[in-house]
Chain A
Amino acid sequence: MTTSTTSAMGGIVRRREDPALIAGEGRYVDDIKMTGEASAVFVRSPFAHARINSIDTSAAEAIAGVHAVYTADDVRHLGLLLAQVAVGPLRPLLADGSVHHAGEAVAMVVAEDAYIAKDAADAVMVDYDPLPAVVDMKDAVKDEVKAHEGAESNVLLTWYSHDWWPGVFELEDHRPAIAEAKQRDDVVVVSQEIGNQRLIPVAIEPRAVLADWNHGYKTVDLWSSTQIPHALAGAVAKTFGLTSHDVHVVAPEVGGGFGAKLNVYPDEMLTVFASRELNRPVRWTETRREAGYSTIQGRGWIGTATITGTKDGEILGYELDAIADMGAYTQNFTVAIPVLGLYVAQGQYNIPLAWNVACVNTNTQTTDAYRGAGRPEAIYYVERIIDMYATEIGMDPADVRKKNFFKKEDFPATTAIGLTMDSGDYEMNLDTLLADVDYAGLRKMQADARAEGRYVGIGLSTYVEVCGFAPSVLAEFGFGWDGYGMPTSFSGSGLVRVNPDGSATVIIGTGPSGQGHQTTWAQVVSGRLGIDVDNIRVSHGDTAESPMGVGTFGSRSAAVDGAATYEAAEKVRVKAAELVAHMLEAAAEDIQFADGGAHVAGSPGHTVTWAEIAEIAYKPHKGPEGLEAGLEAHAVFSPGNATWPFGSHLAVVEVDPETGNVEILRYVAVDDCGNRINPMIVDGQIHGGIAQGIGQALFEEAIYDDQGNLLTGSLVDYPMPTAGDLPAFELGWTNTPTDVNPMGVKGIGEAGTIGSAQTIVNAVVDAVSPFGVKHIDMPLRPRRVWDAIQKARG
């Protein structure tokens, strides 16, 4: 029983999603219109921390076309916003008595249209008593000002590498050994305080939601621009006392996610509430400026990284002592994001680790998962400090890395925090990159450029990431949807149905936002069944039709849901082989599927089509006796481990010392995500990921003033990269498949971001190292680079 099609695994297939999207016919939440719908607009706090004395809604309510104005008094009975990892203060749906970050929603106006609702929102009078705000996370740990009045401390908890999950992992505390190593004569200790600034995700589609409560059916239909439709259905059900099957969530086209839509938000609950109260559909669409207040932000760490190592490049200890800014409230995974960093804290290196990250509240917007979620931060720290260590001991940064790698024979390898990495061959991957770029030649080019007075730098980074979170027991740590009333682990699901006409329908539990699942899942099924991809339609994101799913995030969909779909297709194939065996009077194990049908091995001329197979499947009187009618299967895949992709990135930059401007001359990445379903789509994921890492390295920063006002809430003030800022990317590929899923695929959605920010910073620091510059904090805008040069020059 074998299968072959040209469009299966590894094939370039144009995206099935694209024809609608390039014609302007894609349907996003804001494109869906319902009869009688009303629009919601929020009244938001101008203060980062204040008591609310009173809210006067009368003038707003008097405006023609206004249906209602709601405050905390109206929605308090619904409880607080649900969170998956509920450590720390949870967010009220509307500010209740006080506000804890600028832009927090205080009231919701619902009106005939958004123009009227905006007018009315301006007419809501709120009387505040401002309170001192704590904005900087280093101030927050001092606890002189509390982000929440009456809180015991701003520090919610501190994660330690040696006891991150007590009772499950018995781990060695590496701190004493590292302290001892520091006393040795033959070691150097390299230490640097390094920031990893807060970012705004900026999916180009702002979030949008449309809720329609039906009192007759006692159901809710909810369209939302979300990555997690099933979890959202659970959260709505739990909040409103419904069961999850009463809540029908649809994530239609989703215009980018990046973690920003991996959350349940107050506006989703409040539009449902308003729809219930007003008995009409209610819509809310985020404005861009509002998104700085209404959607989570990412990163926001400051920490001191230290490497203790010998003068010939053997690392004896890596320490990180850091603070991570949680913002004002705990939402979905807020306090667990540093744990995702801890997973990859030691990078590709088999070295002793002592890591601690304190999670602190400040009077700023909540932080949560942003592309990479903890892993870009962690890799940034280890890859920056290892570069500084290489400089200190005068060793080439590639050689230092190689000397400390986990070796190929170490796999499956156990990390310092007790986890098992599935597969890896780091030296082969780095060597591939170095050979591709002619590393020695590049260094010579750099030396020649320096001799001409040009400040050219070469930056290198390796990384390991972890994705497709598993095993199931992690749900007990918080990586499930229990907090949203959907007790699940992060299993994947897929349903494959061969229809009576021989076409196939595939329904999956993911929530993609541009990753091309309709194409790649068709390839997976085509690869199993031999049905042409054009004859396979894939749908997702609709909780009424999808099998139970957990959404799309953490680079998990291919490795988990994709594997489930592979297994569902396999079940269909086994059954279809029995049907074909009956039709062709052959043995099932001799049946081969190819080119839209099946034949007996050795007799390719005698074929049956999928339409013929399907007909006897749906007409049991024509099929083998006793076989259940129909031709569909569902599979749930719960992998025994996460997957651990890795890669090596290199950048060549030139710095203009007169202006501090950084120009990227080359960007080369060699990523290893195991087998690839569609290399075109893998390339695209890497490109986008690199762009986001470069955005952090050179341009982006969410800046608050000392009163807690977000100064960078519009795209004018928040410079995400444009086409003119970026080079063409040069990509290579190595392939180290995983054995944790039947396709041998790892994740690739976040890899580019995890590998790139420090690659750029390492290159820029290398470029300006002749001035004596050792480190510059991101973003490396010209002024910051210029200042660093001036300071180093004295």
Chain B
Amino acid sequence: MQVAMTVNGRDVSGDVEPRTLLVHFIRENLRLTGTHVGCETSYCGACTVQVDGRPVKSCTMLAVQADGCVVKTIEGVADGDDLHPVQEGFWERHGLQCGFCTPGMIMSAVSLLEQNASPTEDEIRHGIEGNLCRCTGYHNIVRSIEYAASKLRGEEPAPPDWTLDFEGAS
């Protein structure tokens, strides 16, 4: 079947089987490999992309369902060489370790901040519950998103909370 959609601002099309998943169309046909497959039950969120502005788990959406849609993947988040504040936050606040969940996590965080410019820590934690990370314990992911939220509001982010002092809790 022929599908056509706009991905990261570019018009693309392809010939796919009806059963082809959107994530496979993105990864195999378009060779945009930043969108990852971590499970196949839409639980881990590594495959999160935006479809028509909403976060979607692309491992449980068919490519044909995205026909005519506007899709944004991790590769389309930065503005040229300028990182999106969420990407910057993940780098500045050590929001990633192995990096495999990161693209999906960033896509969910971008969507969260588009809906809520000033989320509380609790709102951030519940807002990214659909994305699993096994490395970070989420602590620095939350800090990364807080950093990005501040930046997007034009405010100075809170300083990092690294354990720097000898013999003292942060």
Interface residues of A (CB under 8 A from B): 12, 14-15, 17-19, 21-28, 30-31, 33, 115, 202-206, 253-258, 285, 287-289, 432, 436-437, 513-516, 668, 670, 679-684, 687-692, 714-716, 720-724, 726, 728-735, 752
Contacts and interface: CB of A to CB of B under 8 A. Distances in A.
A436 B97 contact: no
8 contacts: A24-B34, A205-B38, A514-B99, A679-B162, A680-B94, A726-B125, A732-B170, A733-B168
Given A28-B36, A204-B38, A668-B169, A683 B162 contact: yes
Given A204-B46, A730-B170, A734-B167, A28 B136 contact: no
A679 B142 CA distance: 18
A516 B135 CA distance: 12
Contacts of A33: 31
Contacts of B33: 24, 27-28, 30-31
Contact of A723 (B38, B98, B128): B128
A729 B137 contact: yes
A684 B166 CA distance: 17
Contact of A728 (B38, B41, B83, B121): B121
List of 5 A-B pairs having minimum Cβ-Cβ separation, nearest first: A24-B34, A255-B100, A514-B98, A691-B137, A21-B99
A287 B23 CA distance: 14
B22 interface: no
B163 A732 contact: yes
A204 B100 contact: yes
B132 A715 contact: yes
A688 B162 contact: no
Given A205-B38, A205-B100, A255-B100, A733 B87 contact: no
Contacts of A726: 125, 137-139
A516 to B, nearest CB: 7
Q: Which of B91, B129, B160, B162 has the most chain A CB atoms closer than 10 A to its own CB?
A: B162
B91 A19 contact: yes
B56 interface: no
B149 interface: no
Contacts of B75: 23-25
B148 to A, nearest CB: 11
A288 B99 contact: no
A139 to B, nearest CB: 31
Contact of A15 (B27, B32, B91): B91
Contacts of B94: 14-15, 680-681, 683-684
Contacts of B160: 12, 680
Given A26-B34, A255-B98, 15 more contacts: A21-B96, A22-B90, A23-B34, A23-B75, A24-B35, A28-B36, A30-B33, A115-B20, A204-B132, A514-B135, A688-B136, A722-B129, A723-B131, A726-B137, A732-B167
Interface of B: 17, 19-20, 27, 31-41, 43-44, 46, 73-75, 78, 83, 87, 90-92, 94, 96-103, 106, 121-122, 124-126, 128-129, 131-142, 160, 162-170
Given A25-B34, A514-B99, A684-B140, A679 B164 contact: yes
Given A22-B102, A204-B98, A436 B168 contact: yes
Nearest to A288: B39
Q: Which of B20, B32, B73, B102 has the most chain A CB atoms closer than 10 A to its own CB?
A: B102
Q: Which of B32, B121, B169 has the most chain A CB atoms closer than 10 A to its own CB?
A: B169
Q: Which of A18, A680, A730, A735 has the most chain B CB atoms closer than 10 A to its own CB?
A: A18
B36 A18 contact: no
B34 to A, nearest CB: 2
Given A203-B134, A205-B36, A688-B134, A733 B100 contact: no
A724 B141 CA distance: 12
B43 to A, nearest CB: 4
B40 to A, nearest CB: 6
A238 B44 CA distance: 37
A729 B169 CA distance: 10
B41 A714 contact: yes
Contacts of A257: 98
A202 B170 contact: no
A729 B132 CA distance: 18
Contact of A432 (B39, B74, B131, B167): B167
Contacts of A204: 36, 38, 44, 46, 98, 100-101, 132-135
Contacts of B90: 18, 22
Nearest to B91: A18
B33 to A, nearest CB: 4
Contacts of A733: 163, 165-168
B40 A203 contact: no
Given A115-B19, A714-B43, A28 B162 contact: no
A651 B134 CA distance: 21
Contacts of A17: 99
Q: Which of A17, A690, A723, A734 has the most chain B CB atoms closer than 10 A to its own CB?
A: A723
B162 A256 contact: no
Nearest to A285: B37
Contact of B136 (A22, A23, A687, A730): A687
B94 to A, nearest CB: 5
A296 to B, nearest CB: 15
A724 B129 contact: yes
A418 to B, nearest CB: 33
A513 B98 contact: yes
Q: Which of B98, B131, B132, B142 has the most chain A CB atoms closer than 10 A to its own CB?
A: B98
A692 B134 contact: yes
Nearest to B127: A723
A26 B160 CA distance: 25
Given A679-B162, A683-B163, A729-B139, A115 B39 contact: no
A255 B132 contact: no
B78 A23 contact: yes
B164 A684 contact: no
A635 to B, nearest CB: 27
A684 B97 contact: yes
Contact of A255 (B40, B87, B99, B124): B99
A683 B32 CA distance: 32
Contact of A12 (B35, B37, B131, B162): B162
A714 B164 CA distance: 39
A728 B140 CA distance: 9
Contacts of B167: 432, 732-734
B20 to A, nearest CB: 8
Contacts of B27: 30-31
A24 B166 CA distance: 37
A328 B46 CA distance: 32
A23 B162 contact: no
B138 A723 contact: yes
A566 to B, nearest CB: 22
Contacts of A680: 94, 160, 162
B63 to A, nearest CB: 12
Contacts of B169: 436-437, 668, 670, 730-732
A720 B134 CA distance: 8
A253 B98 contact: yes
A23 B40 contact: no
Contacts of B39: 288, 714-715
A9 to B, nearest CB: 14
A18 B44 CA distance: 21
Q: Which of B97, B125, B133 has the most chain A CB atoms closer than 10 A to its own CB?
A: B97
Contacts of B106: 22
Contacts of B97: 256, 514-516, 684, 688
